Amino acid sequence: MRLWLAHLIFLPLAAWALITVLDFRAASNVVLWLVGAVIVHDFIVLPLYSAADRAGRLALPGTRINYVRIPAGLSLLTLLVFWGTIRGKGEGAYARVSGLTWDGYGTRWLLLTAALFALSAVVYLVRSRTGRQPAL
């Protein structure tokens, strides 16, 4: 019953959001971008990371793959979020307004990635030494 009630409440909200987006002047660009993102993800990116995960599970049997999968996923997520900043896109406008530069974002991302993998390795070592099943 609660599920039906939630659907009845949120379906009109979703319909309103969709109508609002589609009525926007540049809606064709938004819709094309969304369709393109779905197609690229479903037909290109999903098979790639599924194959990488399958290869990783073959290389690291059991639950040990999680100690690589989780820091790699978090690292790729931060790369995706900060890609424009790491590339330096928008640095000119930022420098003109604030007088500061964006130097070091790539280095900080690499340091964050190294810290994630190091933390994962420490957790794995502690769990394997204490006799617990190393799982996340």
Q: Do the Cβ atoms of 36 and 92 come closer than 8 Å?
A: no
Distance CA 6, CA 12 (A): 11
66-123 tens-digit pLDDT:
899 999 999 999 998 888 888 878 778 778 887 877 788 889 999 999 999 999 999 9
Q: Taking 70 as the threshold, does the pLDDT of residue 23 lie above it?
A: no
- The encoded tokens of residue 83 equal 């890609």
Q: Taking 60 as the threshold, does the pLDDT of residue 25 lie above it?
A: no
Categorise residue 88: left if φ over 0, alpha if ψ from -120 to 50, beta otherwise.
left
